[in-house]
Amino acid sequence: MELKKLLQDLPVKAQGALEGINIDDLCSDSSQVTRGALFAAMRGREKNGEDFAFEAQERGAAAVLSERVIAEIKTPQIITGDVRSAYARVCAKFYGEPSKKLKTVGVTGTNGKSTTAYLIHRIACGCGIRCGLIGTMYIHDGERRSPAQMTTPDPKELNQTLARFVEAGCAAVAAEVSAHALYWRKTDGIVFDLGVFTNLSRDHLDFFGSMEEYARAKGGFFTPEHVRRAVINSDDEFGVRLINSVKVPLISYGLDNPADAFAVNIENGGHGRYIVNDRDRLLEINSRLYGKFNVSNALAAIVCARELGADYADIARVLSETPPPEGRFELIERDGVKFIVDFAHTPDGLENVLLQARKLTEGRLIAVFGCGGDRDRGKRPLMGAIASEYADEVLITSDNPRGEKREDIARDIIAGTDGRARVLLDRREALQEACNAARAGDTVVIAGKGSEKYIEEKGVKTYFDDVEVLKEILAKK
């Protein structure tokens, strides 16, 4: 594509002649630059892309996008005050602005993003609206799925995926939008038709430093630059702040506070039976998803499905047929014991899962979990305290130690417990011990990884699937 067309309407200045330059590819990693590519020299927290501009030039970059003139290179340069935002917008143009050819739903929040996006995708497809899915669990074009590398892909992959959805015949897409993606401007150039806010609780403070900065990143999504209409959880404290401050039309949903869409007659134990009132339209829901938190997720999905054009009767029917997403309160029963595998990796997420698990438990509740390394250390003792409060037995194990020692992470978690917790640093051994200890009537919660299929340690990812390992252990009992 002609470079001048890619840069049209963007706040940039040219350093060198741009006439006749065609761009064949886009890249923000100098090692991946090919001849004819536009290289985006992004500033990161540890590295500055400008330091790799000469390498990009040597590999055949046709032009460089940067925040300043880089004197060391002769390649034509485009100067802008925000390389990340400009690059995201260029990516959208390069792939034909595919988001404009789809009904787009962006879901953000600490917990519930994956489940809510999954439900929107499943309900829409089941109602005859082919809807793609982009998120933590996988990417799905309405017929086929492929692995996801991160919650929200980088701008090139994101727009490339959206273009593929359009080509496949999708009419809509539900995408998880992480706080990191918003901070790094990954979705700039896309105005989502609907922006969903699920909740805000402690997470990623290793990156954002404070809850206010974390909240600022999430809240920045709900502006006319990013969304046309907001769908916001009125039960969340920060959600209420958004409801009172956003400058876009909004629909609120909630279970405890007044909202445009709400649920009543929720069956005790959260077995998925309830009545939804969505702006004075009533639906009787019989869902296969457990828990009050999943009633909230379903409410958001129902609102979005209606906005996408789904029929109410079809929404209720499809939701009743929809299985829980992989690794999100995934329930396996064997010999009277319930095993629940869940992605919960925050204090709020762990508390929600344990509270719901307790409602399903006749005997003891056993919790198996760990915390990720090189991440917010402050949440570790909080999660230890929550596990001690709600579980009868606590097994602390590993969960992506990354660059830290497993025993150091476990020590941080133990600091918040009441002293009853045991440590088994090998995750397989911890799952084996939980299976050995469980008796009929007990429930075992295995938290932290959900559908994630690896353990990352010292730069190496080793295949590990909680559900797969659990089933292997149970098969040998």
Cβ 356 vs Cβ 270: under 8 Å: yes
442 annotated as belonging to a binding site for a ligand: no
44 annotated as belonging to a binding site for a ligand: no
112 annotated as belonging to a binding site for a ligand: yes
Q: Provide the β-strand partners of residue 250.
A: 230
239 annotated as belonging to a binding site for a ligand: no
35 annotated as belonging to a binding site for a ligand: no
Rounded CA-CA distance 66/18 in Å is 15
Other C-beta atoms within 10 Å of 258: how many? 8
400 annotated as belonging to a binding site for a ligand: yes
Cα torsion at 237, 297, 256, 342 (round to 10°)?
-80
Residue for token digits 């999100």? 328
254 annotated as belonging to a binding site for a ligand: no
109 annotated as belonging to a binding site for a ligand: yes
351 annotated as belonging to a binding site for a ligand: no
The residues near 77 (Cβ < 8 Å, ≥ 6 apart) are 14, 15, 16, 63, 64, 65, 66, 69, 70
- Residue type for 32, please? Q
Q: Provide the β-strand partners of residue 231.
A: 196, 251
30 annotated as belonging to a binding site for a ligand: yes
Rounded CA-CA distance 375/388 in Å is 22
111 annotated as belonging to a binding site for a ligand: yes
- Residue type for 85, please? S
155 annotated as belonging to a binding site for a ligand: no
Q: Assign residue 98 a region: left if phi > 0, alpha if psi is -120 to 50, beta otherwise?
A: alpha
458 annotated as belonging to a binding site for a ligand: no
401 annotated as belonging to a binding site for a ligand: yes
113 annotated as belonging to a binding site for a ligand: yes
Q: Which residues are annotated as a binding site?
A: 30, 109-115, 151-152, 178, 375, 399-402, 448, 452
Q: Which residues are annotated as a binding site for ATP?
A: 109-115
Q: Which residues are annotated as a binding site for meso-2,6-diaminopimelate?
A: 375, 399-402, 448, 452
